[in-house]
């Protein structure tokens, strides 16, 4: 009986995932066709080939997961498909010259996602060699200090050229996001009990809190000072604080961490022009609308032009926003799909957060719990930071909108994280059963 029930549940999972994917596919294809009609007045292959590749990839992913991971969460893949498919339409719309490259990254990302999702024991590998992974990630990051470049020719040199392949760059801080979450999950898994009792142990106990807190803060400051990578530094610290809170349940240290973050922000404001510019542009962009605050002001124009229903795909003017295809893709969504479309994106991330945190709740092993929560918090925080930046709710931090924005490293690492969630969802469901 139990076996039949399990098989039925697996079939139901497959049907649900398939049905959701069909809806997503319809949405993406309609928009790709709409873009072609809006831009060229006819159906052109140049606008359809990327969605076709995407459709094949998602179809393959559906088949592979159904075959090898029947107990997975059926919502993750459709949500990933919606974000990546919409992202491809957007990149075609906003920076068509980057489309082929993004498709390649999507192919690689899907391969990584599936590999991680179906390979057994990959969590053990991550956990066992956590120091090696983290050290490797830090070394790569350190290498950007020596060999770092910026593919656009200006701005922070956060990328490393990929050897033997011309014009392809990798951003180590993206990889470090994942490695840091793995490390922290492992760290808190081991120290959970110690941390929870340390409050009763006086200064020694407090130091066991403070030491990693200050170490992490110090690391983020180094990242900020050396690399001017405000986004990554903020994200690392947010994830760390959230996991620390999860492990200890003590809000005071989170408050202290928040205070340190604020302090770092004040320091950065006076120390670095880039940070000062972003904070000034956030506080009051209008006096400098033609110069230093041009990007955020153009973003606000895009939001306003979108209104409730949007201008329609290919029919707005989001390209007035500098680097719209990377940092400001959310503003382009708001202009062409309106409030309805942009709230839709918010809802997709809300669903991802909900399913990810649900996964953490259901996880039986602390490492998986911390890992699922860490990944979910990172993706959510990254989405919130950039969406809040684009809508002038927070200063801009220069992070990408996960799985949508143009960016190979981001696509690859986000896919890897989603692969881990898919892997764990299968495991936790099995355990639950």
Residue with Cβ nearer another protein (156 or 371)? 371
Cα 206 to Cα 200: distance, rounded to the nearest angstrom: 9
Question: Does the footprint of another protein cover residue 94 (CB under 8 A)?
Answer: no
For residue 70, which phi and psi values (nearest 5 degrees)?
-65, -20
Q: Of 108, 140, 225, 289, which one interacts with another protein (CB under 8 A)?
A: 289
Residue pair 105/411 in contact (Cβ under 8 Å)? The answer is yes
Q: State both tokens at 310.
A: 């949007």
The position carrying tokens 């409030």 is 339
Binding mask 326-345 for another protein (x = CB under 8 A): --------x---xx--xx--
| Interaction of residue 96 with another protein, rule CB under 8 A | no
Cα–Cα distance, 164 to 158 (Å, whole number) = 19
263, 271, 393, 431: which one binds another protein (CB under 8 A): 393
DSSP state letters, 291-309: TTTHHHHHHHHHHHHHTTT
The reply to whether 361 sits near another protein by the rule CB under 8 A is: yes
Task: Give whichever of 139 and 206 is closer to another protein, judged by the CB atom.
Answer: 206
Closer CB to another protein, 69 or 355, in the complex: 355
Which residues from 233-262 bind another protein, rule CB under 8 A?
A: 242, 245-249
Nearer to another protein, 249 or 259 (CB): 249
Sketch the per residue contact string, 194 through 233, with another protein: x for CB under 8 A, - otherwise: -xxx------------------------------------
Sole binder of another protein in the list 55, 90, 176, 377 (CB under 8 A): 377
- Whole-number Å distance between alpha carbons of 106 and 85: 10
How many whole angstroms separate alpha carbon 413 and alpha carbon 224? Answer: 21
Residue 226 or 294: which CB sits closer to another protein? Answer: 294
Residue 231, both tokens: 């986004």
- Pull the structure tokens for residue 82: 């919606």
Q: How far is the CB of 109 from another protein (least distance, A)?
A: 24
382 within 8 A of 421, measured Cβ to Cβ: no
What SS3 class is residue 363?
A: coil
Alpha helix ranges (H) inside 272-365? 273-283, 294-306, 329-362
CB of 275 to another protein, least distance (A): 21
DSSP 366: H
What lies within 8 Å, CB to CB, of 176 at 6+ separation is 137, 138, 140, 141, 232, 236
Exactly one of 72, 177, 228, 392 binds another protein (CB under 8 A); that residue is 392
Q: Which of 63, 350, 431, 432 binds another protein (CB under 8 A)?
A: 350
| Residue 158 CB, nearest approach to another protein (Å) | 25
Please say which residue, 141 or 241, places its beta carbon nearer to another protein.
241
Give the nearest distance from C-beta 138 to another protein in angstroms: 26
Please state the closest distance from residue 407 (CB atom) to another protein, in A: 20
Q: Between 291 and 330, how does the x/- string for binding to another protein read (CB under 8 A)?
A: ------xx-xx-xxxxxxx-xx--x-x--x----------
By beta-carbon proximity to another protein, the closer residue of 374 and 419 is 374
Using an 8 Å Cβ cutoff, are 302 and 277 in contact?
Answer: no
Phi and psi based region of residue 167 (left: phi greater than 0; alpha: psi -120 to 50; beta: remaining): left
Spatial contact of 404 and 87, defined as CB atoms under 8 Å apart:
yes
Nearest one of 306, 401, 314 to 349, comparing CA atoms: 401
Q: Which of residues 126-165 bind another protein (CB under 8 A)?
A: none
Long-range contact pairs involving 287-294 (C-beta distance under 8 Å, separation at least 24):
294/322
* Site residues, another protein (CB under 8 A): 192-193, 195-197, 242, 245-249, 289-290, 297-298, 300-301, 303-309, 311-312, 315, 317, 320, 334, 338-339, 342-343, 346, 349-350, 353-354, 357, 360-361, 366, 369-370, 373, 376-377, 380-381, 383-384, 387-388, 391-393
């Amino acid at each position: 009986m139990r076996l039949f029930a399990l098989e039925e549940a697996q079939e139901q999972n497959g049907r649900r995932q398939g049905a959701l994917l069909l809806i997503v596919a319809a949405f993406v294809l309609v928009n790709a066709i709409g873009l072609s009609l809006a831009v060229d007045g006819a159906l052109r292959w140049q606008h359809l080939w990327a969605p076709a590749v995407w459709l094949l990839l998602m179809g393959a992913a559906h088949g592979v997961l159904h075959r090898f991971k029947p107990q997975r969460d059926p919502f993750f893949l459709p949500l990933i498909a919606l974000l990546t498919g919409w992202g491809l339409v957007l990149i075609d719309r906003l920076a068509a010259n980057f489309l082929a490259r993004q498709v390649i990254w999507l192919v690689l990302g899907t391969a990584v996602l599936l590999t991680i999702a179906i390979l057994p024991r990959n969590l053990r590998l991550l956990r066992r060699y956590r120091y090696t992974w983290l050290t490797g990630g830090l070394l790569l990051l350190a290498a950007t200090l020596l060999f770092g470049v910026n593919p656009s020719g200006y701005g922070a040199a956060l990328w490393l050229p990929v050897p033997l392949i011309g014009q392809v760059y990798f951003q180590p801080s993206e990889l470090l996001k994942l490695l840091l979450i793995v490390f922290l999950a492992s760290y808190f898994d081991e120290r959970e009990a110690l941390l929870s009792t340390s409050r009763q142990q006086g200064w020694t106990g407090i130091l066991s809190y403070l030491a990693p807190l200050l170490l992490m803060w110090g690391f983020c400051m180094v990242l900020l000072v050396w690399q001017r990578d405000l986004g990554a530094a903020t994200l690392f610290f947010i994830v760390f604080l959230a996991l620390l809170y999860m492990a200890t349940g003590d809000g005071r240290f989170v408050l202290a961490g928040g205070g340190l973050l604020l302090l770092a922000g004040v320091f950065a404001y006076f120390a670095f022009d880039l940070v000062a510019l972003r904070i000034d542009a956030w506080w009051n962009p209008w006096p400098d609308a033609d110069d230093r605050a041009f990007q955020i002001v153009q973003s606000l124009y895009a939001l306003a032009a979108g209104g409730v229903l949007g201008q329609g795909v290919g029919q707005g003017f989001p390209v007035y926003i500098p680097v719209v295809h990377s940092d400001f893709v959310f503003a382009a969504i708001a202009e062409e799909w309106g409030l309805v479309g942009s709230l839709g994106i918010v809802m997709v991330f809300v669903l991802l957060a909900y399913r990810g945190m649900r996964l953490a709740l259901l996880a039986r092993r602390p490492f998986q719990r911390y890992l699922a929560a860490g990944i979910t918090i990172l993706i959510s925080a990254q989405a919130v930071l950039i969406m809040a930046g684009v809508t002038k709710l927070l200063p801009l931090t220069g992070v990408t909108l996960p799985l949508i924005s143009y960016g190979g490293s981001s696509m690859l690492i986000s896919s890897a994280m989603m692969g881990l969630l898919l892997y764990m969802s299968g495991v936790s469901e099995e355990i639950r059963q």
